[in-house]
Structure 1
Amino acid sequence: MRIAILGAGSLGCVFGGLLAAAGHEVLLVNRNPALVDRLNTQGLTLDLGVAGRRVVPVRASTVCAPDAPVDLLVILVKSFDTAAALSGARAAIGSDTLLLSLQNGMGHEDLMAPFAPPDRVLLGKTYVGGTMTEPGLVIGGVAGRPSSAQPRVR
């Protein structure tokens, strides 16, 4: 599956890294050129606690301009940046692209409506957390959950 993570901060890197490790083609999009360079040259280091630490090769960019539309566009930018981020990601959105918001707050379906029909817009929530302790190193986990509930993607 071709996936772009729009807003690849700490939480976006957790999801993107796990999806890339599971074999999906993932593009991490972050506005910070230094972070993007670090991810492209050294990979993403994921520390998942009891699940271990690993370096995942990833592809990152400061813009969401893939060579073809993606199957899934995960939106994790700050709510007030949603419309602008999606406008800049038009090259990633095709007629079959699913848009998934995992953002905090409400009303994201209205912000996503100009970019995809209602049956292609998904809203979600997550109990997975992430902390970027340094550029390219993300600690992911699920606070208050048993270690068997640590994030993983198959």
Structure 2
Amino acid sequence: MRFVFFVLIIAFYIGGCSLPQNVNYTRINHNIDKEVRLRTIANEWKKTPYVLGGTTKRGADCSGFVQSVLAQFNTRIPRTTKTQLASGVKVSRAKLKTGDLVFFKTGRGPNGMHVGIYTSKSKFIHLSTKGGVREVNLNSSYWKNRYIGARRY
């Protein structure tokens, strides 16, 4: 009886070590996940009024919005547009990825610059001086002519 019990235990042990069945693995595109999360967060800021120096949903400027959103991705960046442009890794326009910061010379604000967050397909989100977060096309005549660079953090 002990021998039968011993054989059964060995059989179960060896059976548990068999090769797994064919498993289909799904490739995760982390860029798409990041884009979806970025759009979701931006949507929460949709009605935020433009307030120079602000960093909250009660009122923010473009760089405060960008800083607050990237903080939700555990990415710390400087506070102002000027210092955001001066740091980070320079990225060419052709190699933009979701989450990269895009900078513009608008002539508005204390330093005449504006910043947004690249989403995909030549689009970026930003907090408009007219109030509210918007997604716009980087290649529109207004933004295309004012583009000055991009940074990756």
**TM-score with structure 2 setting the length:** 0.27
Highest RCO, 1 vs 2 (Cα 8 Å, sep ≥ 6): 1
More strand by share: 1
TM-score (norm 1): 0.27
Q: Which has the larger radius of gyration?
A: 2
